[in-house]
A = this chain, B = another copy of it.
């Protein structure tokens, strides 16, 4: 089996082909500044593999992933990447390469990769939530091997949280909600709070603890709503020490209210090798769409 993966990011497309053991056979990265150019390079990459069986796409967005929508496969008008508005990723790929395609969000692709990789390691896992914390905050969910969302993709970066008592003067950066989670805990909030880029803010600066407090609340919300087997935090803002700060607040906020696995197994950083969660997820989604056929919006494998 020869499986394709497109990690379609706002700054680059990572294209790969691999086998059903999720081993990468070849991989190339293209800038995503100019859609026509990026898509041409993407198509040409996959055309070099005439044996290709199927492609999984994990895309920035918002992207329409519901099969019954007229704009299925399209990066919608709401994307901040103006050049990509109304670009139909699925149609462009399928018109050039006649294989089954499965598309989901970038974070869902990563969540799925973590789900698959955990299964591969022999962990008992049914459900996983994946947060990415970088210039924004996004989250993907896999429940019993499926994606969810009757009305579209998750946008859990924009939930409200209890304000930290030492952070009340900060209005938050979200243009839509001010002090939602993304407005309070994404990477750019370092600049706003301290005047420095996050890379230059030492971990004992209070701004880290404030952000950990907010992210811990998000993890509590997700714990009490989804009851997943684990919650993964990825993205440029994360580090093992910062994750420990999140764990500490999470423990205080949840206060033992529901049973969860040991914290160091429950709240983790991505465990797929080489930052490859989304690629592993894409490969497996490609395998699934090859087996089940297109038309299963939620990667059914119950």
Contact = CB atoms under 8 A, between A and B. Distances in A.
Contact of A257 (B155, B256, B257): B155
A258 B144 contact: no
Contact of A227 (B146, B152, B177, B259): B152
Contacts of A150: 125-127, 143-144, 227-229
A44 B203 CA distance: 64
A147 to B, nearest CB: 10
B257 A176 contact: yes
Tell me the interface secondary structure of chain A in the complex: loop
A156 interface: yes
A226 interface: yes
Contact of A154 (B144, B148, B224, B229): B224
Nearest to A68: B124
A159 interface: yes
Interface string A143-168: 11010111111111011111100000
A300 interface: yes
A155 B224 contact: yes
A213 to B, nearest CB: 10
Contacts of A125: 150
A140 to B, nearest CB: 11
B221 A153 contact: no
A186 to B, nearest CB: 15
19 contacts: A125-B150, A139-B225, A148-B227, A151-B261, A152-B259, A154-B224, A154-B225, A155-B257, A158-B224, A159-B217, A159-B224, A160-B162, A160-B221, A160-B253, A161-B161, A176-B257, A177-B257, A221-B225, A225-B226
